[in-house]
Amino acid sequence: MSKSLKKLVEESREKNQPEVDMSDRGISNMLDVNGLFSLSHITQLVLSHNKLTTVPPNVAELKNLEVLNFFNNQIEELPTQISSLQKLKHLNLGCREKGAEGAMNRLNTL
């Protein structure tokens, strides 16, 4: 994990920042961002313009999320655990690669 991502996580935790912007950082796996899923206080997570293809079930640990932005990634599937994010109001999966229809079909419980 790059120092800048580590710093973002640490600053969010220390300053109790509700919004975390990790856009355009070359992230290919959310699990590689140490401490991300411990940020249960955040309400907005921006991961647009990265290289993500999956969303780990751990996303459910971010229980206060209201906005989750995956714009311009290659997400093909969402974990069922995402439906436990009861405060989630906006999920952006825009500008996906072909074949991402399956992810959208799993959203009927949100």
pLDDT tens by residue, 28-85: 999 999 999 999 999 999 999 999 999 999 999 999 999 999 999 999 889 999 999 9
- pTM for this prediction: 0.84
User: pLDDT: is 49 or 106 the higher one?
Assistant: 49
What's residue 76's pLDDT? 87
Cα distance between residue 58 and residue 81, in whole Å: 8
Mean pLDDT along residues 2-26: 93
pLDDT at 96 over 80: no
